[in-house]
Amino acid sequence: MNLRKNSKAFTMPEILIALIFLSLASVAYFSLNRANTRTSMNAYYEMMAFSLAREPIEVYRTLGYDVLAELAEREEIGIAEYPIGKDMRTAVKCKLGDQMQYPIDAENFEREILLEHDKGKKDERVPFVKITVNIYPVENKKISKFIVKPLLELSGIVARNIR
């Protein structure tokens, strides 16, 4: 007498094997989903940090070499929204009505702007001012879960016009 021929249902081992396969597939799906979310958020924050670093470089480049060289030599604070100096980290503020509008997630970053004046030597190289912007994530914010690199550094150069 064969019980399987008369049975219209699945056996217990068949059900257990199917449950194991389904659980492995769901674990793989959720792991992949989590990794994709982390990767896309990291790319989002990295692009935001890049644009926050580029902005002060563009602003200071418009001042020209002579003004930047003077700011670098005197070690002045610079423009109020973009203070210059080592250990002068400033948080990016997101307030309605401000001149510069940022996404709310920009508050997860701090900026440090440095000027380095290279006077050059006569007949050897062109004098320039190097503008370096360091972007740091604010500690204890949600960004620390997603960002891979703890720091973004972007530099730009403004050289003296040689005629």
31 half-sphere exposure, CB direction, 13 A CA radius: 6
Determine, yes or no, domain membership for 59: yes
CA distance 30 to 24: 10
CA distance 50 to 149: 12
The mean pLDDT of the chain is 83
Q: Which two tokens stand for residue 45?
A: 């924050």
Alpha carbon separation from 69 to 24, 58, 92 (Å, rounded): 62, 16, 26
Which residue would you say has higher pLDDT here, 141 or 19? Answer: 19
Determine, yes or no, domain membership for 3: no
Residue 64 lies in domain: 11-159
**pLDDT > 70 in the chain, percent:** 85
What is this structure's pTM? 0.73
Number of domains present in the structure of the chain = 1
Which residue would you say has higher pLDDT here, 29 or 48? Answer: 29
Determine, yes or no, domain membership for 6: no
pLDDT in tens, 90-110: 777 776 666 667 788 888 888
Mean pLDDT of 115-128: 77
| Ramachandran quadrant class, 136 (left: phi over 0; alpha: psi -120 to 50; beta: rest) | beta
